[in-house]
Amino acid sequence: MTYRPADFATPETVFKAFEGVNLIGGARRATQATLAVTNPATGAEIGRAAASDGAETAQAVATARAAQRDWAATPARARGKQVGAAARAVTAQAELIAQVLARETGKAIRTECRGEVAVAADILEFYAGLGSELKGQTIPFDPRMLTMTTREPLGVVAAILPWNVPLVLFALKVGPALVAGNSVVVKASEEAPFATFLLAELMSRHLPAGVLNVVNGTGADCGDALTRDPGVAKITFTGSEAVGETINRIGAERIIPVSLELGGKSPMIVCADADLDRAVAGAVSGMRFTRQGQSCTAASRIFVHDDLIDAFTERLGAALDALRIGDPLDEATDVGTIINARQRATIDRYVALAEATPGATVTRHGTLPDAAHLAPDLYMQPVLLRGLPDDHPCVMEEIFGPVAVLRGWSDRDEVIALANATHYGLAATVWTRSLSVALDSTSRLEAGYVQVNQNLTIQPNVSYGGFGRSGQGKEASLEAMVEHFTRSKTIVLNFD
Ligand code: NAD
């Protein structure tokens, strides 16, 4: 199918254009089956996306394989320039992409979706300039020989996405994979596939046909077929721990590299000397309350020094009360919806467990919308939990919703031990005015991304990735591209 500008006039035309199709070899290819995509804000079906079977998924891998040889032979800087042009095409349609994303994820257009598109384009631009940084080494082996390493692409990269920030995660995988000379098959999230298809099609007009392909479908059919396809040379996955474990097992059997970005239960440690206002603002942004806490890096365990915990809790509650929960498309809305009923039920189960715990305090904040056109079930007030035992499921397990646990502390060794007590290790923050406390804490916290007095999200040039069961491998940064999207070849030249 060829592109017609009218296809992309409005979000509705985008849903129609990508109805029941994959993007393979630069063209939209129909699949036999489709699945419904729902707007969580209204409960209405917005479109039907491809539900690819194994054969339809394999077609994308075969196409990507066929395109990869020429792409790998293209000079690296030239590849980067094409990715740069593709990034600018994304920026040119940023508002439309954000509108599509808001409708399929329920995330607020102003506080979440526009920023996500901008960050995705920024990440692609960042990688576009790094083609000539794919350097090897020379090795002093023997003066009569030239011994060196070169960095080669891996082949076809399978990039599997979740629904919570699909475009940023797309860019973190597709940007470095393409610039390094790989071709890519993206598996969109079946919960929120349309913004991914739109982004990819806008990009693919600036890339050789077949180097960027997108398939959609369920994890059990499309995702599983992709990970097992012998044409796939590397898997990069962001999603749940359980699926990550399965994919890692398949990668091990096939002996191919697997990068995993999985869950988190990130601690935030507020010391007695912290700037209280700054720390409270950091908790609101760090817990990603405007994304309904649906973030792997969410600062969901907040340890506040006993001297500050009452004041902190009060101010945090007041800040959350001020958030407007409502229609994601309304410019005045701060907080949209939970993604779907299954996720909502999971979150509710955790909150009910807390409510049933003796000594626990559960507070809800902000006002729920009552507009008639909105489906009520997926709007949720932020929840703060206090007084839970340290081994409570709400403390130890990822909830992936707007639920934060607060706990007081007075002994730094104890709080560091508590912070390290889950099997996750994605991110952590420390809030203090003392440099020695900051350095001591950052060195002892077991997390891949540790910040002091701030809680920023992923930055394009800052390496990001979890310890423990939060995952393996890194994303963002030059190192991530070189280490995870290329392989090293050793070459020895002897003309003696
Ligand atoms: P999920 O694991 O259910 O699904 C993620 C993707 O994997 C989807 O595209 C799905 O179709 C696919 N999939 C499912 N089963 C599969 C299988 N057997 N084989 C191959 N693919 C399969 O996760 P989700 O519910 O979409 O996202 C939420 C999860 O993602 C949370 O646990 C969250 O912590 C995690 N997450 C992690 C990060 C990070 O950077 N660490 C970022 C965002 C989200």
Q: What is the pLDDT of residue 2?
A: 61
Distance CA 167, CA 199 (A): 8
Structure tokens at 381: 């007030």
Q: What are 401-410's pLDDT values in tens digits?
A: 999 999 999 9
Q: Is residue 489 flagged as an active site residue?
A: no
Q: What is the mean pLDDT of residues 443-472?
A: 96
Q: Which of 107, 173, 187, 265 is catalytic?
A: 173
Cα 244 to averaged position of ligand 1 atoms, centre (Å): 7
More confident residue, 97 or 377: 97
Residues in the chain: 496
Q: Which of 240, 346, 484 to mutate to test the pocket of ligand 1 (most atoms within 8 A of CB)?
A: 240
Model confidence band, residue 10 (pLDDT cutoffs 50, 70, 90): very high
Return the DSSP state at 335.
Answer: B
- Provide the H-helix boundaries in 237-308: 241-254, 276-286
Using a CB cutoff of 8 Å and minimum separation of 24, what contacts does 475-481 make? 475/172, 475/173, 475/236, 475/259, 475/261, 476/123, 476/172, 478/130, 478/133, 480/172, 480/176, 481/127, 481/130, 481/133, 481/134, 481/175, 481/176, 481/179, 481/180
* Strands 145-153 and 486-494, bridge-based pairing: antiparallel
Q: What are 419-446's pLDDT values in tens digits?
A: 999 999 999 999 999 999 999 999 999 9
Model confidence band, residue 3 (pLDDT cutoffs 50, 70, 90): low
Name the 3-class secondary structure at 302. Answer: strand
Contact 367, 141 (CB under 8 A): no
CB-ligand 1 contact for 160 (6 Å cutoff): yes
Distance CA 402, CA 283 (A): 12
Cα 242 to averaged position of ligand 1 atoms, centre (Å): 9
